Structure 1
Amino acid sequence: MQSLNIIGAGRLGKTLGRLWQENGVLRVQSIYNRSLESGRAASRFIGAGNAAESLAAMPAADLWLISCIDSEIGAFAQQLAASDLIDHSTLVFHCSGALSSEVLKALKPALTASAHPVHSFAKPETSLETFAGTSVAIEGDPRAGQILSAAFAAIGGEILNIDPSNKSLYHAGSVIASNYLTTLMDLSLQSFAAAGIERDRALRLLAPIVSQTLQNNMTLGPEKSLTGPIARGDIATVSAQVESLAAVDSQLALCYRHLGLACVELARRGPLSDESAAKLIELLSEPTR
């Protein structure tokens, strides 16, 4: 079994490390985190690996995962390149969705790649149970891609090969569907709160319709899933909602109007008439008073 060192074993690094360790895919050998205690906690979660006080204190390994924040990946690549810990057969990869393997170019002639799991690692304990079926976008050196494809497939990943020049667009799609969905939920809860409906009750209210909407989108696609006042051209209702939100929070109203404009464009692919669309665009484009 090949050895794996992890630089920055946070929620993603801990989850992947444990999945690979428990499934006999890769042997987690050494972990370097911001603090020694954090590294030890990651080691306990993974069930393997020794926490290192510094990068220099880590032993050589077959594979290295740099899973720190995006802005630090290049710097760690430079440090690793300046060490005697890698050679041409070493594979170094990161899991950033926004960056390509180009950020690891200082490590050449080592094998380099990026592998981004389209998964929310908010709670590692949950991710251990739900990771199977996750798509993993991989690009980089062909041999590195083969090795990582096999490693991720062994823990249930579905491999997606991607052009590195499209990483930013690809990642933006993931962000909109995941991070922005979470933000939309918060905006919805703010609106309910302004209406005097407490948070737990609002969440219970939203659960069925949000779940059904998600299912509709996955099976029917957005065009056939859109309902509500914009989809049916109900200008009076949209106008009343804009005014109500503006009276409570101008930022909330601004979000409603901007999302509404995108909603109009989606509705135009359905039965919404050009006349209704034009009126809605005019209404939603007006500055919030």
Structure 2
Amino acid sequence: MQTLNIIGAGRLGKTLGRLWQQKGLFQLKSIFNRSYDSALAAVEFIGAGQAAESLESMAEADCWLISCSDGEIAVIAQRLSDKLTERNDVIAFHCSGALSSQVLEVLRPASIASAHPVHSFAEPLHSLDTLPGSSVALEGDSLAVSALENAFTALGCEILTIEAQHKSLYHAGSVIACNYLTALIDLSLRSFAAAGIERNSALKLLEPIVLQTAQNNMSLGPEKSLTGPIARGDLETVATQVENLASVDPQLALHYRQLGLACVELARRGQLSDESAASLIELLSEPMR
């Protein structure tokens, strides 16, 4: 069984460490976090490994997972370079969605890779059950990619291989669909609040339609899933909503209009006529008064 060290065992690192430990895929050796107490907590959550007081005191391992924040990965790799360059059979990888494996170049001759699980690790205990079925985007050296493909497949994940130069564009797609969806829910709640509907009632109202919309998009695609006034070319309704939003919160109106323009382009790929599209674009593009 290969050994594994984890640097930065936060929500993602703890989840992967525990799942791989339970599956018998890796033997956990050392865990290093910003604080020794958090490393001890990670060891307790995973149920294996030893907390390390420093990077330099970590045990030797076959595989090194660097799961700290994006801005720290290059710094950690540099600090780790003396320790890893003594062996050419080591695998080092990170789980950043935005960065490619090239940020770990300093660790060669180790085999380097990036592995990004397309999953929200907001609550590790929940992720233990929900990670299976998620996709993992892999890129890097063939040895590392092959080993990680086996490791994530054993967890029930789907594997997607990409090129290093496309990593940022790939991650932007994830950000738009996931992070921006969260922002959209917040904008929706702000609009409901302006209408006098309290938060819990609004969330209860939104849940079935948001979940159904997401399901429609996954099964039918965006073109067939878009509904509402823009998809119908209902200029009067859109104009009224822009006006009312602007009267209570100009920022809400601005976001509505910007997103509305994206909806017009999507609706044009469906049933929206060129004439209706032109009218909507003119309305939504008008400068705020």
TM-score (norm 2): 0.98
Does structure 2 retain, via aligned residues, the 8 Å contact 1:80–1:86?
A: no
| 1:155 match: secondary structure | coil
AA in 1 matched with 2:35: S
Mapped pair 1:204 → 2:204: yes
Matched residue, 1:167:
167
| 2:165 match: secondary structure | helix
Alpha-carbon distance change, 5 to 86 in structure 1, aligned in 2, over 3 angstroms = farther
Matched residue, 1:10:
10
| 2:160 match: secondary structure | strand
Does structure 1 retain, via aligned residues, the 8 Å contact 2:224–2:270?
A: yes
Matched residue, 1:283:
283
Matched residue, 1:25:
25
Matched residue, 1:106:
106
Matched residue, 2:64:
64
d(CA) in 2 for partners of 1:78, 1:221: 44
Matched residue, 1:151:
151
Over aligned residue pairs, what C-alpha RMSD do you find?
Answer: 1.0
| 1:114 match: secondary structure | strand
Matched residue, 1:118:
118
AA in 2 matched with 1:254: L
Matched residue, 1:131:
131
Q: Deviations over 1:74-117 (max 9, x none)?
A: 11111100236751111000001111100000001111000000
| 1:230 match: secondary structure | helix
| 2:75 match: secondary structure | helix
Does structure 2 retain, via aligned residues, the 8 Å contact 1:135–1:157?
A: yes
Does structure 2 retain, via aligned residues, the 8 Å contact 1:32–1:55?
A: yes
Q: Deviations over 1:133-180 (max 9, x none)?
A: 111110111011110100111111111111111101110111111111
| 1:57 match: secondary structure | coil
AA in 2 matched with 1:20: W
d(CA) in 2 for partners of 1:84, 1:71: 20
- Per the TM alignment, residue 45 of structure 1 is displaced from its structure 2 partner at its CA by 0.8
Q: Deviations over 1:37-71 (max 9, x none)?
A: 11111111111111111101101101000001111
The aligned length equals: 289
Is there any run of 5+ residues in structure 1 with no aligned partner, and where?
A: none
Does structure 1 retain, via aligned residues, the 8 Å contact 2:12–2:67?
A: yes
Matched residue, 2:238:
238
d(CA) in 2 for partners of 1:54, 1:31: 9
d(CA) in 2 for partners of 1:208, 1:163: 37
Matched residue, 1:38:
38
Runs of 4+ in 1 over 6 A off after TM superposition: none
Range moving further from structure 2, 80-89 or 95-104: 80-89
Alpha-carbon distance change, 108 to 85 in structure 1, aligned in 2, over 3 angstroms = closer
Q: Deviations over 1:207-231 (max 9, x none)?
A: 1111111111111110000000000
d(CA) in 2 for partners of 1:59, 1:208: 49
| 1:82 match: secondary structure | helix
| 1:58 match: secondary structure | coil
Q: Percent same amino acid at aligned positions?
A: 69
Is there any run of 5+ residues in structure 2 with no aligned partner, and where?
A: none
d(CA) in 2 for partners of 1:23, 1:282: 58
AA in 2 matched with 1:75: V
